[in-house]
Amino acid sequence: MSFSQQRVLRSPTGAELNLYVKRAEGRPRAVVQINHGLAEHAARYARFATFLGECGFHVYAHDHRGHGATKAPDAPLGTFAKVDGGAKVIADVAAVHDLIAGDHPGLPVIVFGHSMGGLVALKFMLHHSNRLHAAA
């Protein structure tokens, strides 16, 4: 059980986001954008992504700044940034969301967040609700 692709996405914030993708088996129903919790990384969601892929969902999950393999010069391990970290992490989530929209135009996007990732997802939804179809 693993993601089918790993890549780096350069965010407008300057971060190099470590991004994992799992493609849906068969015709995709929607895309799930995963936001991981504090002191963890997106690769921990590989089994969940495999399950979602079997259920017909594409999955995108990135390591937030200060977590996993993402590189951000202003984000030491465990920290979003020394200044404006909250705004930067939301901008990073928006960059991944833009990539999803470009890769899968017209496909519904569900934002998922666990623990700290739930707060990140909520903040993203407050500023970008017109771009989402659901949240979990």
Q: What is the pLDDT of residues 10-49, one digit of tens each?
A: 999 999 999 999 999 999 999 999 999 999 999 999 999 9
Q: Which two tokens stand for residue 63?
A: 């390591």
d(CA 24, CA 107): 12
**Which pLDDT score, from 0 to 100, does residue 83 have?**
87
Q: Where are the beta strands (DSSP E) in the chain?
A: 5-10, 16-22, 30-35, 57-62, 109-113, 134-135
Question: Mind listing the pLDDT tens digit for each residue in 81-100?
Answer: 988 989 999 999 999 999 99
Residue 1: pLDDT over 80: no
The range of the structural domain enclosing residue 24 comes to: 5-135
Q: Which of 70, 81, 46 is nearest to 60 (CA)?
A: 46
Q: Which residue has the higher pLDDT, 133 or 106?
A: 106
Say which CATH number the domain at 75 has.
Answer: 3.40.50.1820
Q: Which of 36, 94, 32 is nearest to 64 (CA)?
A: 36
Side-chain-facing half-sphere of 117: CA atoms under 13 Å: 24
Q: What is the mean pLDDT of the chain?
A: 95
Which residues have C-beta within 8 Å of that of residue 6, sequence separation ≥ 6? Answer: 18, 19, 20, 21
Number of domains the chain contains = 1
119, amino acid identity? L
Q: Which of 132, 80, 124, 61 is nearest to 101 (CA)?
A: 132
